């Protein structure tokens, strides 16, 4: 998912997120300037108790952060993932360029799509 977003030309960072002095998470992608978090929930999230922990942690983040959750089936529509991330950033004041789906991006994310 990170490569999908980065190759589309959107900014990318990974760091810890907390509220006050309490550590909450290290999401997959964090945009602190715009208070947007992107998390990927793969298959292991469906089959473990980790899913319950993720839901509770996200509930604590959501009053202050915009949380985008990408599930594995969302990756079947990769452009939509990049567009969702960009839309969330733009809602929070990001004025950079939108996603660009160049030849390398298309080769990696659309060539083998079902």
Q: Per residue in 51-62, pLDDT tens?
A: 777 778 888 888
Whether residue 33 is contained in a domain is answered as yes
* Residue 110 lies inside a defined structural domain of this protein: no
In a domain, 113, yes or no: no
The β-bridge partners of 22 are: 19
- For residue range 25-72, list pLDDT tens digits in order: 667 788 888 989 888 887 665 566 667 777 788 888 887 889 999 998
Residue 78 has pLDDT above 90, yes or no: yes
Output the pTM of the full model: 0.81
- For 74, the domain range is 2-102
Tell me if 68 is assigned to some domain.
yes
- Average of pLDDT values for 72-95? 94
In-domain check, residue 24:
yes
Backbone angles phi, psi at 110, to 5 degrees: -120, -20
- Does a structural domain hold residue 66? yes
pLDDT at 70: 93
b/e code 84-105 from CB counts within 10 Å (16+ = b): bbbebbeeeebeeeebebeeeb
Query: Has residue 114 been placed in a domain?
Result: no
Q: How many residues does the chain have?
A: 114
Question: Residue 46: what pLDDT?
Answer: 59
- DSSP assignment letter at 28: S
Mean pLDDT, rounded, for 92-111: 92
Number of domains in the chain: 1
Strand order in the sheet with 36-41: 29-31, 36-41, 66-71
């Amino acid at each position: 998912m990170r490569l999908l977003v980065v190759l589309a030309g959107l900014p990318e960072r990974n760091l810890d997120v907390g509220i006050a002095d309490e550590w909450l998470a290290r999401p997959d992608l964090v945009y602190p300037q715009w208070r947007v978090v992107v998390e990927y929930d793969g298959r292991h999230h469906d089959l473990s108790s980790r899913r319950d922990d993720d839901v509770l942690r996200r509930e604590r983040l959501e009053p202050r952060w915009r949380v985008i959750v990408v599930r594995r089936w969302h990756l079947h529509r990769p452009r939509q993932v990049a567009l969702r991330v960009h839309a969330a950033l733009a809602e929070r004041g990001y004025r950079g360029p939108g996603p660009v789906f160049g030849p390398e991006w298309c080769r990696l994310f659309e060539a083998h799509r079902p």
